[in-house]
Amino acid sequence: MNRISAGLCFLSSATFFATGFAMADTCVQPDQLHVTAIDRPFVQERFLAGMADPLRSEGRLQVSPEKISWHMTSPFDVETILTPTEITQSINGGTPQPMGPSGSDISASIARLFASLLQGRWADLQSVFRVSKGAGAPGTPWSVSLEPLDQQMQKILGKIEVQGCTDIATIKIDHENGDREVITFDAGSPPAP
């Protein structure tokens, strides 16, 4: 498994139904997204094979040009911070601990990929994923599918589907073992333009 595959597996397990899309006439096409900062609550549901009910977590996502904070607040307090040079994690407000070697290429790659995904910079993802944009009528909600190009990554991730209207509303992650995750961002907290 290459480092990017391992990093994306970490992100999907450490992290990610919309509560409602914006009015249909206000939706932009996926290539028209211009999200530079995000500060909004999320709900993540993990559907594990063999379990009747999903595992549910809640928290807050903050994205800025300098860093990404994925802060799960329920059922546990765990904050994962991604910067261009490192990934750290703190539990219950404790001192952030490195999740890998500081300054490594993998940390920078994961941070760039995650930021590109959350900000809808699809062209930046084409070196790692086959990017397919759902054909929707102008002004209606859209979807973008991401399928890993790397065979090792395909063993972890089946497909990622991103849905939205004026920004990212839902991220669905399918795993090859049948598990899946649905991450929904609060539609009442718009991202910064």
Alpha-carbon distance of 69 to 32, in angstroms, equals 24
**pTM as predicted:** 0.78
**Residue-range domains of the chain with CATH:** 3-185 (2.50.20.10)
Alpha-carbon distance of 134 to 140, in angstroms, equals 11
Tokens in use for 49?
A: 């094979």
- Helical ranges in the chain per DSSP H: 3-14, 105-119, 151-154
Asked whether 89 and 97 are in contact (CB, 8 A), the reply is: yes
Q: Is 32 helix (H, G, I), strand (E, B) or coil?
A: helix
Alpha-carbon distance of 181 to 138, in angstroms, equals 28
Q: What string of pLDDT tens digits covers the 193 residues of the chain?
A: 444 444 444 444 444 333 334 444 588 888 888 777 889 999 999 999 889 999 999 999 998 888 889 999 999 999 999 887 788 899 999 999 988 665 556 666 777 788 888 888 899 899 999 999 886 777 788 999 999 998 888 887 889 999 998 888 999 999 888 899 999 998 654 444 4
pLDDT at 156: 79
